[in-house]
C-alpha cells in the first residue's frame, strides 16, 4: 500500500523555541492530526505533523550533524534510489540521503511536489518544487519556517524558483530557473502520453476526482478509467448549479460514480470566516474558489485529483488574448500565489491531499513548447478529449466559484464583507507612472484588501517604451496625497535592470511580496514587468490585463479624476491637453477612436494622462495648466 503523507513542517531558531514551535504546529494541526514530533537541533528545533498514516517513516530525520524535515510527494523516488544505490523506505528517506550526498542541487531530480528544510550543520537550506504546490514560508529574525503563513508572525512566502540558504544570521537566495518548453512533432499524441503518465504516477489505492464535467476533469477521469483506478467523482455546488448539472450529464455518459454535494446559502456563509483564516486572505476570488475545494475535501478523504493548472498552461483564462504562450507562462509563474496554496490548505483542512496531474513537469514542458494556436481556449485538450471519445468535450465551463454558484452567496461589496474575517492581504508595491492605468490598478488591489506598502516609480532618461514620461516627477505629489511611501529612481540605459533593482529595494524596505502594474495590452511592457518580478522573487498582478478598453474608459473616468497631459494621435487636437476626462469626454474619445482608428483608452500611446484625485488621496492635486 502506498502511503499518503498529508503533513506540515516548521522550525524555529531562537529563545523559548520549544513553546513557540509547539504553538506554531498547533496552528497548523489540520495538517496532521495523527502524529506530532519535535526534535532539538542547534540553536532551535524542528517539528513535523502527519495525518493519514500508512507505512510512513517518522520525521524529522537526523543523522549526526545533518537534519531533514519535508512535506513531499516525490513520484520518482524509487527510480532515483535505484540510480544512486540508496536504500530507503520512502521518498523522505531518499531525499535526505541524496541531499547529504549531493547537496540541494539534487532536488532537480525530483518529480513531484516538495517543501524541504535541510541542514548540513553549518547552513540551513529551504527549497520547494518550482511550481509551488507544496507551500513554504520563512522569516529571518529570528529564523523560522513553516508550511503555512499563520504559524509564525511576519512570515513571507519562499518563491518557488528560489532556494534559500541561512548561515550566521544572514540569508542568501538563489534563482533556480523556470521551465523550458519542449517542441514535439505530434503535440496531441505526446500530451496524451505525458498526461497518462502523470495520472498513473499519482494513483493511490483509492482516490476521488474533483469533477465539474468540463474538459479538464473529464480527461482526468478517462485516464483513471484506463488505468483501472479505484475512484469516485465528486461535484460541489448549489442546487441545479451549472457544475452539478454538467457533472451529472458527463458522469452518466462516462459511466462514472458521482457524489453530489449540494450546498445551501447558510452552510456556505457559516464557513466563510473559517476559510479566510485558513487561506489568510479576504480576496473574494480566492475565498469563493477555496470554499469549493473545502466542501469537496470534507467529503472525499485521503487523495483527490484536481484539474488545477489546465487553464493556466493551456490558455483557458478569459483574458488571454495576445501572445498565449507568454500569457500561459505568466499564469503558471504566479499560480503559487493565486491558487495552489489555497487548494493545499483547504484540502488538508478537509483531510484530503490534492494531486495535480496538469502541473506535472513533463506536461508543463510540452505546454510551453506548443504553438499559440493550440492554446485558444484549451484547443489541444478539447482535441485530445475528442480523440478519447469524451462526448462532453465541447462544453465550456466557468471558474469553480461561478460554476458552483458560490459566487452568488457572499454579500456585496464582497471585499468589505470579507475584511471582517481577514483585514489585509499580502503587501504589494505599485508601479506608478502618474497616469490613470497604474493608479486604477492600485485602486483595484487596495479595494480587494491588499496592503499597498509602497509606490515604485521610474524616471526615464529619454522617451521610453517601458515607462511613462510626461509629468512622472509629479508622482511625488500623488504619493504624498495618498499617504503611501515612494521609491523613485532615475533609469539608466538598462531600464530593465533598474526596474529589478527598485523592486529589490521595495522588498528589502517594505517586505512586499508582489507588484501591481497597470498593463492593459502592451505585451512589451508586461513581459518586462513579469520578468522583473520573477527575477526578484515576488508575484506579479495585472488586474487590467485584457479588459475591453471602451468599457474600461467609461468606468475609470467615474472612479478617478484625471487630465490629458499629452496627445500623439490624429484626431486629438492640442485642445485636449489639460482637459479633465469625465463621462462625456470619454464618449467623445470613443467616438474619435472609431473615426481615426486609435485605442480609446490611449493604450497605444495616443494620449497620456495624470491622475489629480483618487479614492486614496487626502486632497486633489492642483496643476498649473501652463506647466503641462
453 or 398, greater pLDDT: 453
8 A C-beta contact, residue 398 and residue 439: no
For residues 477-503, b (16+ Cβ closer than 10 Å) or e, as one string?
bbbebbebeebbeebeeebeebbbebb
User: What is each CA distance from 312 to 217, 303, 326, in whole angstroms?
Assistant: 15, 23, 11
Instruction: Assign 97 to helix, strand or coil.
Output: helix
Confidence of residue 393 (pLDDT cuts 50, 70, 90): low
3-state secondary structure 531-577: HHHHHHCCEEECCCCCCCHHHHHHHHHHHCEEEEEEECCCCCCHHHC
Task: Mean pLDDT check: name the lowest of 193-202, 212-221, 321-330, 388-397.
Answer: 388-397
Q: How much is the mean pLDDT over the chain?
A: 94
Average pLDDT over residues 142-153: 98
Q: Which carries the bigger pLDDT value, residue 51 or residue 349?
A: 349
In the block, which residue shows the cell 534510489?
81
Q: Is the pLDDT of residue 395 over 70?
A: no
Task: Give yes or no for a cis peptide into 60 (omega within 30° of 0).
Answer: yes
> Chain-centre distance of CA 614, in angstroms?
28
Cβ distance 100 to 56 under 8 Å? no
532 contacts 500 by C-beta, under 8 angstroms: yes
Is the pLDDT assigned to residue 469 strictly greater than 80? no
Measured between alpha carbons, how far is 595 from 207 in angstroms, rounded to an integer?
59
Biggest alpha carbon distance in the chain?
A: 79
Identify the architecture of domain 4-175 in CATH.
4-Layer Sandwich (3.60)
In the chain, the percentage of residues whose pLDDT exceeds 70 is 95
With contact defined as beta carbons under 8 Å apart, do 600 and 550 qualify?
yes
Q: SS3 of 198, please? A: helix
Cα-based angle 57, 351, 245 (whole degrees, multiple of 5): 140
Among candidate residues 81, 76, 104, 110, the one with its CA nearest the CA of residue 94: 81
Nearest C-alpha neighbor of 83 from the set 101, 61, 68, 65: 101
As a whole number, mean pLDDT of residues 588-602 equals 96
CA 177 to chain centre: 17
Domain residue spans of the chain: 4-175, 187-415, 425-613
Residue given cell 524535515 in the structure block: 69
Q: Is the pLDDT of residue 396 over 80?
A: no
Helix (H) or strand (E) run with residue 501 in it = helix 495-510
pLDDT tens digit sequence for 274-310 = 999 999 999 999 999 999 999 999 999 889 999 999 9
pLDDT mean over 152-171? 97
Whole-angstrom CA distances from 509 to 145, 430, 487, 490, 608 are: 21, 14, 10, 18, 31
* Ranges 338-342, 380-384, 393-397: which has the least confidence: 393-397
Query: What is the tens place of the pLDDT at every residue in 484-519?
Result: 999 999 887 788 999 999 999 999 999 999 999 999
CA proximity to 128, closest of 107, 109, 143, 146: 107
Q: What is the pLDDT of residue 56?
A: 67
pLDDT higher than 90, residue 467: no
Give me the numbers of helices (H) and strands (E) for the chain, helices first please: 22, 24
Q: Would 187-415 and 425-613 be classified into the same CATH topology? A: yes
Q: Determine the straight-line distance between the first and last CA of the chain, rounded to whole angstroms.
A: 73
Residue 107 has a pLDDT of 96
With vertex at residue 527, the alpha carbon angle to CA 522 and CA 530, rounded to the nearest 5 degrees, is 125
Q: Residue 624's pLDDT is what?
A: 74
Per the model's pLDDT, the better-predicted residue between 147 and 121 turns out to be 147
Cα–Cα nearest to 263, from 306, 283, 233, 293: 293
The CATH architecture one would assign to domain 425-613 is 3-Layer(aba) Sandwich (3.40)
Q: How many Å apart are CA 498 and CA 594, to the nearest integer?
A: 38
Q: Going by DSSP bridges, is the β-strand pair 162-167/170-175 parallel, antiparallel, or unpaired? A: antiparallel
Euclidean distance between CA atoms 72 and 91, whole angstroms: 8
Please compute the mean of the pLDDT values over residues 446-454 and round it to a whole number: 98
Query: How crowded is residue 506: how many other Cβ atoms within 10 Å of its Cβ?
Result: 25
3-state DSSP assignment of residue 205: coil
Task: Report residue 626's pLDDT band, with 50, 70 and 90 as the boundaries.
Answer: low
- DSSP tag of 409: T
Residue 392 vs residue 340, higher pLDDT: 340
- Helix residue ranges per DSSP H, 112-264: 187-202, 215-226, 242-254
- Gap between the Cα atoms of 97 and 136, Å rounded: 21
Beta carbons of 512 and 155 less than 8 angstroms apart: no
Looking at residue 317, what is its pLDDT? 81
- 187-202 vs 361-369: helix axis angle to the nearest 10? 160
The string over 405-417, giving b where at least 16 C-beta atoms fall within 10 Å of a residue's C-beta and e elsewhere, is bbbebbeeebbeb
**Whole-angstrom Cα distance, residue 416 to residue 461?**
41
Poorest-pLDDT segment among 234-248, 356-370, 385-399, 484-498? 385-399
DSSP letter assigned to residue 580: B
- The whole-angstrom separation of Cα 295 and Cα 268 is 9
Calpha distance 197→409 (Å, rounded): 39
d(CA 363, CA 373): 17
Specify the CATH class of 187-415 in words.
alpha beta
Find the helix packing angle between 341-349 and 265-279, rounded to 10°. Answer: 120
CA distance readout (Å), 258 to 413, 422, 483, 606: 35, 35, 53, 54
- Residue pair 225/247 in contact by the 8 Å Cβ criterion: no
Helical spans, DSSP H, in 572-616 = 583-596
DSSP per-residue string spanning 253-291: HHT--EEEEEE-HHHHHHHHHHHHHHHT---HHHHHHHH
**What pLDDT is stored for residue 468 in this prediction?**
62
Q: Are 628 and 578 in contact (CB under 8 A)?
A: yes
Residue-level pLDDT at 1: 37
CA count, 13 A, side-chain hemisphere, 268: 25
Q: What is the pLDDT of residue 53?
A: 47
Residue 90 CB-half CA count within 13 A: 18
Tell me the pTM.
Answer: 0.94
Amino acid at each position: 500500500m502506498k502511503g499518503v503523507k498529508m503533513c506540515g513542517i516548521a522550525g524555529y531558531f531562537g529563545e523559548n523555541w520549544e513553546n513557540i514551535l509547539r504553538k506554531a504546529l498547533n496552528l497548523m494541526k489540520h495538517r496532521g492530526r495523527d502524529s506530532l514530533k519535535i526534535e532539538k537541533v542547534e540553536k532551535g528545533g524542528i517539528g513535523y505533523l502527519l495525518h493519514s498514516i500508512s507505512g510512513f517513516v517518522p520525521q524529522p530525520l537526523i543523522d549526526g550533524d545533518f537534519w531533514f524535515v519535508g512535506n513531499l510527494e516525490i513520484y520518482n523516488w524509487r527510480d532515483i534510489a535505484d540510480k544512486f544505490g540508496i536504500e530507503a523506505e520512502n521518498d523522505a528517506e531518499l531525499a535526505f540521503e541524496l541531499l547529504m550526498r549531493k547537496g540541494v542541487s539534487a532536488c532537480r531530480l525530483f518529480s513531484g511536489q516538495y517543501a524541504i528544510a535541510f541542514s548540513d550543520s553549518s547552513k540551513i537550506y529551504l527549497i520547494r518544487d518550482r511550481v509551488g504546490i507544496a507551500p513554504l514560508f520563512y522569516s529571518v529574525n529570528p529564523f523560522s519556517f513553516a508550511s503555512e503563513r499563520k504559524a509564525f508572525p511576519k512570515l513571507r512566502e519562499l518563491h518557488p524558483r528560489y532556494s534559500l540558504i541561512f548561515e550566521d544570521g544572514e540569508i542568501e537566495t538563489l534563482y533556480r530557473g523556470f521551465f523550458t518548453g519542449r517542441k514535439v512533432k505530434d503535440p496531441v499524441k505526446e500530451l496524451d502520453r505525458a498526461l497518462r503518465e502523470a495520472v498513473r504516477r499519482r494513483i493511490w489505492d483509492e482516490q476521488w476526482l474533483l469533477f465539474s464535467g468540463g474538459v479538464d476533469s473529464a480527461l482526468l477521469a478517462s485516464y483513471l478509467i484506463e488505468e483501472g483506478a479505484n475512484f469516485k467523482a465528486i461535484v460541489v455546488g448549489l442546487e441545479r448549479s451549472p457544475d452539478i448539472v454538467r457533472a451529472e450529464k458527463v458522469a452518466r455518459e462516462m459511466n462514472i460514480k458521482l457524489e453530489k454535494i449540494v450546498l445551501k446559502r447558510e452552510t456556505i456563509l457559516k464557513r466563510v470566516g473559517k476559510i479566510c483564516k485558513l487561506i489568510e486572505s479576504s480576496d473574494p476570488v480566492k475565498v469563493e474558489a477555496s470554499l469549493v475545494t473545502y466542501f469537496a475535501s470534507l467529503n472525499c478523504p485521503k487523495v483527490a485529483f484536481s484539474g488545477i493548472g489546465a487553464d493556466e498552461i493551456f490558455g483557458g483564462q478569459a483574458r488571454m488574448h495576445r501572445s498565449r504562450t507568454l500569457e500561459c507562462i505568466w499564469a503558471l509563474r504566479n499560480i503559487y500565489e493565486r491558487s495552489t496554496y489555497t487548494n493545499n490548505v483547504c484540502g488538508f483542512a478537509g483531510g484530503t491531499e490534492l494531486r495535480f496531474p496538469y502541473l506535472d513537469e513533463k506536461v508543463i514542458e510540452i505546454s510551453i513548447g506548443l504553438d499559440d494556436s493550440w492554446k485558444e481556449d484549451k484547443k489541444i485538450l478539447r482535441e485530445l478529449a475528442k480523440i478519447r471519445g469524451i462526448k462532453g468535450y465541447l462544453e465550456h465551463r466557468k471558474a469553480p466559484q461561478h460554476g458552483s454558484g458560490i459566487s452568488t452567496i457572499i454579500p456585496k461589496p464582497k471585499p468589505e464583507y470579507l475584511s471582517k474575517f481577514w483585514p489585509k492581504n499580502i503587501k504589494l508595491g505599485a508601479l506608478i507612472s502618474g497616469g490613470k492605468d497604474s493608479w486604477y490598478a492600485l485602486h483595484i488591489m487596495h479595494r480587494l484588501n491588499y496592503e499597498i506598502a509602497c509606490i515604485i516609480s521610474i524616471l526615464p532618461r529619454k522617451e521610453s517604451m517601458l515607462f511613462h514620461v510626461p509629468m512622472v516627477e509629479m508622482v511625488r505629489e500623488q504619493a504624498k496625497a495618498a499617504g503611501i511611501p515612494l521609491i523613485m529612481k532615475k533609469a539608466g540605459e538598462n531600464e530593465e535592470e533598474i526596474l529589478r533593482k527598485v523592486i529589490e529595494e521595495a522588498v528589502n524596505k517594505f517586505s512586499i511580496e508582489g507588484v501591481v502594474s497597470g498593463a492593459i495590452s502592451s505585451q512589451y511592457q508586461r513581459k518586462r514587468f513579469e520578468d522583473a518580478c520573477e527575477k526578484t522573487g515576488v508575484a506579479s498582478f495585472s488586474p487590467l490585463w485584457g479588459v475591453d478598453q471602451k468599457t474600461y474608459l467609461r468606468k475609470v473616468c467615474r472612479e478617478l479624476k484625471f487630465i490629458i497631459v499629452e496627445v500623439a494621435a490624429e484626431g486629438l487636437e492640442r485642445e485636449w491637453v489639460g482637459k479633465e476626462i469625465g463621462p462625456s469626454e470619454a464618449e467623445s474619445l470613443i467616438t474619435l477612436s472609431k473615426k481615426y482608428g486609435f485605442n480609446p483608452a490611449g493604450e497605444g500611446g495616443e494620449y497620456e494622462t495624470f491622475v489629480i484625485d483618487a479614492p486614496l488621496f487626502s486632497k486633489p492635486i492642483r496643476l498649473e495648466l501652463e506647466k503641462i
